[in-house]
A and B are shown apart, each in its own frame.
Chain A
Amino acid sequence: MTESSTTAPIITIRNVWKYFDSLPALQDVSLDIAPGERVVIIGPSGSGKSTLLRSINRLEEIDQGKIVVKGQDIMSPDNDINLIRQNLGMVFQQFNLFPHKTVLENLTLAPIKLRKLTREEAEARALGLLKKVGISEKANVYPAMLSGGQQQRVAIARALAMQPAIMLFDEPTSALDPEMVGEVLDVMVKLAEEGMTMVCVTHEMGFARTVADRLIFMDQGQIVEQGRPETLFTTPRHPRLRQFLNQIL
């Protein structure tokens, strides 16, 4: 299935333009993402895929167009962007764990301060998540002591601690040594199997093939082609997509 036409989309992106100085990073991009859908975005560097992802939680501000998350226009001053963001978990290429907090504290900080959980509730939830990502023995360790793969798994758990409806992944394995990529992808696959709505920017084609409901190829700020992964891999229609796949596959 390409798009679910029966349920309302959980993210709506309409005619979005974004400029860096005078250069357009996003050109008239439109996209709907259904709840529970797993979307993977691929493309050459500079294609705007990270910019698009970061526009969804307003880390980048769009210049034209509209982005609606769970019924709320993220650019509208009537909506509290901080509340909207609590529903969007983000995982970064550079992990961005808080180095001055232990692993457990990284996970409990936001739930305690923002969702007003008690310390016990937050820690219980955190320990459950750490178990899920396979790293519970490191709960009281500082991030500097962890490997890259371990840090990224903690980062995923941290984002999940806020129980978001949607998870955004910005090239989560690109900064990892090859032997650690697998452990992180395993966690992401598990997440996908549980039905989490995911938007993922990545170069990992194997992951895309396994997990994605829809693959989106971007080039020069535009969505050039989209569809099921097998379709795009075996019968790419657009010449630029063909060129890209030749380079990486």
Chain B
Amino acid sequence: MHDKKDGSKGNIIMVTDGASIPDPREWRLINAWSIALVGAISTLFALCLCWPEPYLRILLYLPDGILITFKITVLSICCAVPLGLLTGLGRISNNRLINLIASTYVEVIRGIPLLVQIFYIYYALSRFVQVSGVTSAVVAISFCYGAYMGEVFRAGITAINKGQSEAARSLGFNGFQTMRYVVLPQAMRTILPPVGNECIAMLKDTSLVSIMAVPDIMQRARSFVGTTYLYFETYTVVALLYLVITLMLSKTVSIMESRLNYYDGK
């Protein structure tokens, strides 16, 4: 990232896993992202046209799985991002209690594998409260990723020059208004790419729901393979499907990123 005029440096926050967001400034038509997308879609088409049996059959077996995968991903994103924001703010807070709660939450959740969390909410808690498969998945995934995103939010917010909040406070804005009108809008630029990456990782983690017999893409694929033993063909289609969805998601994030870069000086 480039230096800005007021002396602060743009920050790059390292992220663990996920597709790379295409560079929003990339204007050339032929780039890694477009090659991947066109390649994936055309491969899918070619396979279904040239060998409808089994590829088309596989593709027709999976659509309701795609719907469920989408549903869980979207709901999880809608819950995890606000949770991440609250957690990040909590970690910065001067209030000892809030800070403690947020920090403990992050420590605990980051220590337990997501699969175990899903398992626990669905099976273990079923003694006290019945939670549906989709709900368990959304709750577990949101809590897990909320903790990771909390760290991203925290880093992004603290990276914003202290002078910004001082200027806002000296105008008479309270802490909440300062965050809302001055700090967060600026922090979004550094926060968005890693959060976008986390959302893409989330999409791939939704495949864990098969443990609850929730029929997402992965579970449908395994069910199909269980009857037909067409491992290679089925998982080829599944891989291409996930790739296409992931590429579209990462492009969306890239577009959002470019929208946020409107005020850079030249």
Contact with A along B237-266 (1 / 0, CB 8 A): 000000000000000000000000011111
In the assembled complex, the CB of A130 is this many whole angstroms from the nearest CB of chain B, namely 17
How far apart sit A19 and B168, CA to CA, in the bound complex (Å)?
25
In the assembled complex, the CB of A199 is this many whole angstroms from the nearest CB of chain B, namely 13
A95, B6: Cβ atoms under 8 Å? yes
Give the chain A neighbours of B172 by CB distance below 8 A.
82-83, 85-86, 110, 114, 162
B170, A113: Cβ atoms under 8 Å? no
| Residues 85-125 of A contacting B (Cβ, < 8 Å) | 85-86, 88-90, 92, 94-101, 109-110, 113-114
A92, B166: Cβ atoms under 8 Å? yes
A114, B185: Cβ atoms under 8 Å? no
Q: How many residues of A contact B (CB 8 A)?
A: 30
B173, A114: Cβ atoms under 8 Å? yes
How far apart sit A114 and B178, CA to CA, in the bound complex (Å)?
12
B163, A94: Cβ atoms under 8 Å? yes
Q: How many residues of B contact A (CB 8 A)?
A: 26
A92, B163: Cβ atoms under 8 Å? yes
How far apart sit A159 and B171, CA to CA, in the bound complex (Å)?
7
| Residues 176-226 of B contacting A (Cβ, < 8 Å) | 177, 181-182, 185-186
In-complex Cβ contact of B7 among A90, A94, A97, A145 (8 A) = A94
Instruction: Return the chain A residue nearest B167 by Cβ.
Output: A96
B167, A98: Cβ atoms under 8 Å? yes
Give the chain A neighbours of B174 by CB distance below 8 A.
82
Contact with A along B155-176 (1 / 0, CB 8 A): 0000001011011111111100
Q: Tell me, yes or no, whether A59 is within 8 Å of chain B by CB.
A: yes
Known: A96-B163, A96-B166, A142-B265. A113 touches B173 (CB 8 A): yes
Interface residues of chain B, those whose CB is within 8 Å of chain A, are 4-7, 161, 163-164, 166-174, 177, 181-182, 185-186, 262-266
Interface residues of chain A, those whose CB is within 8 Å of chain B, are 57, 59, 82-83, 85-86, 88-90, 92, 94-101, 109-110, 113-114, 142-145, 155, 158-159, 162
